[in-house]
Structure 1
Amino acid sequence: MIFSLALCLGLMAAATAVQTTEDGQESRDLDMMNMVEVNETLVVYKRKHTQNTKHRCLSAKKQHRESDTQYQYELRARLGGQYYAQTVNVTLDKDQGGVYKSRYTDRDGINYNLTLKEMDPAGPCFVIFVNKDDGNKGCELLVTASNVNGTIPEKCKNYYSQHCEGKSSTLHRPRCIYN
């Protein structure tokens, strides 16, 4: 089951510490620890990778803290009318600049590296870059479950639309259930 829930907080690595964006500005990677601190369910609202999926209602919820850099997350997705879940072990690694990225392997053996690119200071949204070892890569726009039906903060919405390449697919549906 491919849950590219890259979002799985605390989860992440891929890109360099400083990148030049399309408009010539520098974009610094943010510390994935900011996502690990979120204790509520994170929803993959939309993404720009792995377009050939029929999974919807993707989410990630931290289940257990093993150590400062090791966490367990439950990833959920709906296929048709049924929800599926899997537990993944997320590891945080510091890059050369001292910023945490995250990584995990799903039950199909696909390795995910996640990098936090943008977030709203209040915490209801995140943009991560997902790099999968099956060749798929791109951004995901994540929101907390409590904010999924609200307005997406401009900071995340603008970063996703202006700095992330590729076709966007909305994975959230009004009748999704995020536990």
Structure 2
Amino acid sequence: MSALYTFVLKAALGFAPVAAFASGDCNLPPAEPVTDVLGLTVAYGESAGDRRLLRILSNGQIFVPLYDAMLETQISREALQALIDWMVQEQGFLSLSWTTIKADLRRPPPGANGALPIPPHEDGLGSFITLTVPDCSHSVVVRDSAMISTGRPDVEALQRFRAIELRLLEIVTRLQTR
């Protein structure tokens, strides 16, 4: 991997590697055997299926589809741990749920003067984010996240989900356009 591409990928991740968590936090599994750690899928339906936009493995391998090809790159385990730390510690990924976000979306936004919000679509395009590390696995789907997050900046959990989704989409975009 070139030094320039490594720099661009680190810029997409948005931070420098940090020290690993203390015992009991969301630590990466060993690099071997290789396991799925992080995934992003955008799809209709109740499950993410097997059409992932982003797949990151425990050894730092990243896979992103582009038409009929599968693009691949590698990041350090430290950078991967930093991404997980950001998701879990700063964005509270483990506390996110579609049920909670839907309930918040059904409340009128501040200053709505009694106007009822448009309820979220149960059958809209879903963004599925899955984290699979020992003692810290969690999966969240949010329907129409791009559209509803723009109209509801007051829904804090939705904004945190969208921040994670955008960070992962940035990795996808950087790899597809290199």
Taking structure 2 as the reference length, the TM-score comes to 0.32
* More helix, by proportion: 2
* More strand, by proportion: 1
Taking structure 1 as the reference length, the TM-score comes to 0.32
